[in-house]
Amino acid sequence: MKRIFVACGSGVATSQTVASKVQSMCEDENLDVSVEAVDFKSLENIIDQCDIYISIVSEKDNNWNVPTIKGIPFLTGIGMEEEFEKLKELIKK
């Protein structure tokens, strides 16, 4: 099972929502994943525990060696299919 982290500034609203959206999209495609919302400040300590990272913060704040997907498209719908395709590729790897 692939472990996916979604991080936003405070772990309050956006990361939770994106995590639940991604989880249900993956379930619809029978992909075995665990999607968790985390807050950005704790990410540094736990980033090595995830296989894929979905980012809702600016790219310049991201400095990890983990495959990264954009989270905003899952909120606005703009570019969502494209990001989901990328995510599926990473999950199947």
Partner 1 sequence: MNNSILHENLIFLNYEATDQLNLLNKFSGILYANGYVKNSYAQAVIKREQEFPTGLNTPGVKIAMPHTYPAHVLKSTILVATLKDPVTFKEMGNSDNNVNAQLVFMLAITDPKGHLSILSKLMSIFSDKEKLSDIYHTDNKMDMIKKLNKILF
Query: Shortest distance, CB of residue 23 to partner 1, whole angstroms?
Result: 11
Contacting range for partner 1; rule: CB under 8 A; set: 27-35, 45-53, 66-74, 83-91: 66-74
Indicate the residue type of 43.
Answer: L
Dihedral, 32, 46, 81, 29 alpha carbons, nearest 10:
10
The answer to the question of residue 58 lying near partner 1 (CB under 8 A) is yes
Contact residues toward partner 1 (CB under 8 A) are: 8-14, 16-17, 20-21, 37, 40, 55-59, 70-72, 75-78, 80
